[in-house]
Chains A and B, each alone.
Chain A
């Protein structure tokens, strides 16, 4: 990680293990981008994929800035996914890791269904791997993407792109590796007990595949996905209401040993 400089027109970030150059022609975005992406900053790489941040209108409001930052995050994510397609199995998921062992839980869910809320609630004291895309190599090592968290406001409006450090989150300090996967379903009522349901591998494929990116880039994609699911002891679906309900499951997966799950 390199120290953020507030007025750079070009910054480089590590996203899913790919270096992405972000061009910032609009000066007003440079400081907020430097802050929001501070956990991902990396050294420049020649001829790496690049994206250009949107330019703001002349009298841009704070909401306009937030929208531009949100668009920029989407551009970076897309560029990173494209760069790693066919190399890493990528899921729409948030993830936390144990800061000593690197054991990581991937919490798979469609957008807007609680991924960011979970990592905000359960992430302090753990490694923040991502709130958006989990990218897993064949050996189950994970390319972290400690991007700004996309935080929904209480009132209507764009999401805010917030630096992990501003929310008490730290990027992984050791190499994360996939120890377990769960599918999130926030469909319980307040006060209901959390329900954890083991899924057979065929159901897991049907439910996971729509939450993958570039799955078809792999040779025999369903077999590779099935192998990954089985290597971590299968997929479980967690029906919950409050983020705190998921804590025991997160603790259990982060307590796993790589020796035991291979």
Chain B
């Protein structure tokens, strides 16, 4: 998986690179989506909320946290209440905790956050 950090030491900064976890399968119905992700201590099955599904899809092949915020606003519009950054951070931390997405290291000396998408 390369330079990633575990959920225990995940410190999210605007330029933290987010990647999808090692997804083995996804099963969807009208009621939602369940995914199977590979982890270091075994596989895990997670039922994603609508927001979780959107965040997972928006992360795609990799985005910084800052880019993800922009992408989510484009997909969902502005949040009805609360801080966008706080909402996204909370959702991302929850998905990192489940292994659905992983946080890569912030490149040293690189504050551009421009990794393409």
Binding site for B on A (CB under 8 A): 200-203, 205-206, 209-210, 215-216, 220-223, 226
**Partner of A222 from B26, B31, B38 at Cβ < 8 Å:** B26
Contact A210 B45 (CB under 8 A): yes
Please name the 5 residue pairs, one residue from A and one from B, whose CB atoms are nearest each other, closest first: A209-B45, A222-B27, A222-B25, A205-B34, A202-B34
Contact B25 A223 (CB under 8 A): yes
Tell me whether B111 is interfacial, beta carbon within 8 Å. Answer: no
Q: Is the interface of A mostly helix, strand, loop or mixed?
A: helix
**27 A–B pairs (Cβ distance < 8 Å), ordered by A:** A201-B27, A202-B27, A202-B29, A202-B32, A202-B34, A203-B47, A205-B27, A206-B45, A206-B47, A209-B36, A209-B43, A209-B45, A210-B45, A215-B36, A216-B36, A216-B38, A216-B43, A220-B25, A221-B25, A222-B25, A222-B26, A222-B34, A222-B35, A222-B45, A223-B25, A223-B27, A226-B27
Contact A221 B24 (CB under 8 A): yes
Contact A221 B34 (CB under 8 A): no
Q: How far, in whole Å, are A99 and B1 apart by their CA atoms in the complex?
A: 50
Q: How far, in whole Å, are A202 and B30 apart by their CA atoms in the complex?
A: 10
**Nearest neighbor of A224 in chain B, beta-carbon distance:** B25
Binding site for A on B (CB under 8 A): 24-27, 29, 31-36, 38, 43, 45-47
- Provide the residues of chain B in CB contact with A205, threshold 8 Å: 27, 34, 45, 47
Contact A222 B47 (CB under 8 A): no
Contact B29 A201 (CB under 8 A): yes
Given the known inter-chain contacts A216-B43, A222-B45, please indicate yes or no for A206 contacting B34, CB distance below 8 A.
yes
Number of cross-chain contacts by CB at 8 Å: 44
**Nearest neighbor of B35 in chain A, beta-carbon distance:** A222
Given the known inter-chain contacts A206-B45, A209-B45, A210-B45, please indicate yes or no for A200 contacting B27, CB distance below 8 A.
no
- Provide the residues of chain A in CB contact with B29, threshold 8 Å: 200-202
Nearest CB on B from A36, distance (A): 30
**Nearest neighbor of A203 in chain B, beta-carbon distance:** B47
Which of A206, A220, A222, A223 has most B Cβ within 10 Å? A222
- Provide the residues of chain A in CB contact with B35, threshold 8 Å: 222
- Provide the residues of chain A in CB contact with B32, threshold 8 Å: 202
- Provide the residues of chain B in CB contact with A220, threshold 8 Å: 25
**Partner of B31 from A200, A209, A215 at Cβ < 8 Å:** A200
Contact A216 B45 (CB under 8 A): no
Nearest CB on B from A110, distance (A): 14
Contact B47 A202 (CB under 8 A): yes
**Nearest neighbor of A204 in chain B, beta-carbon distance:** B34
Nearest CB on A from B53, distance (A): 12
Which of B35, B36, B47 has most A Cβ within 10 Å? B36
Nearest CB on A from B19, distance (A): 20
Nearest CB on A from B83, distance (A): 31
Nearest CB on B from A234, distance (A): 13
- Provide the residues of chain B in CB contact with A206, threshold 8 Å: 34, 45-47
- Provide the residues of chain B in CB contact with A222, threshold 8 Å: 25-27, 34-36, 45
Q: How far, in whole Å, are A69 and B69 apart by their CA atoms in the complex?
A: 57
Given contacts A206-B45, A216-B36, 19 further A-B pairs with CB under 8 A are A200-B29, A200-B31, A201-B29, A202-B34, A203-B47, A205-B45, A206-B47, A209-B45, A215-B36, A215-B43, A216-B43, A220-B25, A221-B25, A221-B36, A222-B25, A222-B27, A222-B35, A222-B36, A226-B27
- Provide the residues of chain A in CB contact with B31, threshold 8 Å: 200, 202
